[in-house]
Amino acid sequence: MHILDAEIHEQPDVLRALLGREAEGARTIARRLREYQPRFAMLVARGTSDNAAVYAKYLLESFTQLPTALAAPSLYTLYGKPPRLEHSLVVGVSQSGQSPDLVAVMEEARKQGALTVAVVNVRQSPLAEAADHMLWCGAGIEQAVAATKSFTAQQLLLALLVAEWSGDAGLTEALPAVPSAVTSALALGDRLADLASRWRSMETSAVLARGYAYAAALEVALKIKETSYLPADAYSGADFLHGPIAMIEPGFPTLLLSASGPTGAGMRDLALTLRERQADTVAVTDDAALAEAVGTALTLPAPASEALAPISLVVAGQLLAYHLAVAKGYDPDQPRGLHKVTITR
């Protein structure tokens, strides 16, 4: 067994432990946020963690109505022109918490009086030390270079914080179901291995989603790039219709990630359009109508909350990336030219 595969399969236990361990910390931060009442939020991250930040943007704006942006770290470190951050929430998301540009954003935010939170897998890290508050992934050491369990832990921590802050009962009550949903995604392993075998000679692909699931598409495309060296592109299903769909030709591999909800009708229409263009379409979904509209459907149980479905959707994508790398004869644990910790300034 490869390390990456083992770490992917650790995720239900990691997420279950996280919910029990970090709930009180999330409640403490939520109380502080209700007192502080930030006017907007800024998220700062790189790489895989940047995709977790995109997920957090959807959560924050939909459940707290707080305008949320992604930081541009070079404005702080290279141009010396940071934006005004007073009376804001600034959240740094990082596996290692070591990259100097992320730390610089956090330090500047704190200097300006922003409320700062670090979401990290390494508690004793510069990013954690620079923040007012910390939420700990507790995913353990990731020996595989491609991040998996730390990413889903970041997703769940951000969802936990938003649930506590917003007081949304539906989101809060759905959180304990996430580990089981991830277990259901892991059960698709054999079918994903078959799909990887079918797609092992592909030269490019598209990963499509909308709404909360968009961040999962970004992360799955990244995992395919990291482990199989393929130019997999992630798009919002809506954006894809505004130009990129022109590249679709017969047999073009397209992966759709979707949970039943407001985005379902649009994703089904997109699937039908792709079928008309004879794309090789695959969907990971609980939506029966979408499953009927694609060439291959890998079905999941209906999620307890659409907002939490991207956690299990991304796990299915992690498995696909893993099996694709193996099918192509690559080492999924040590992608060429990559290191576990990347330092940017």
Q: Which amino acid is at 323?
A: H
Cα separation, 293 vs 281, whole angstroms: 9
Q: What angle do CA 53, 63, 256 make, to 5 degrees?
A: 55
**Catalytic residue numbers?**
340
Angle formed by the axes of helices 11-36 and 149-166, nearest 10°: 40
Is residue 164 within 8 Å of residue 27, measured between CB atoms?
yes
Query: Which residues are CB-neighbours of 186 under 8 A, at least 6 positions away?
Result: 8, 9, 11, 12, 315, 319
341: Cα within 13 Å, side-chain hemisphere = 13
Is residue 82 within 8 Å of residue 113, measured between CB atoms?
no
Identify the CA nearest to 253 among candidates 226, 274, 228, 238. Answer: 274
- For the record, the structure tokens of 72 come out as 């541009």
Three-state SS string over 85-106 comes to CCCEEEEEEECCCCCHHHHHHH
**β-strands 133-136, 115-120: how paired?**
parallel
- For the record, the structure tokens of 44 come out as 């700062």
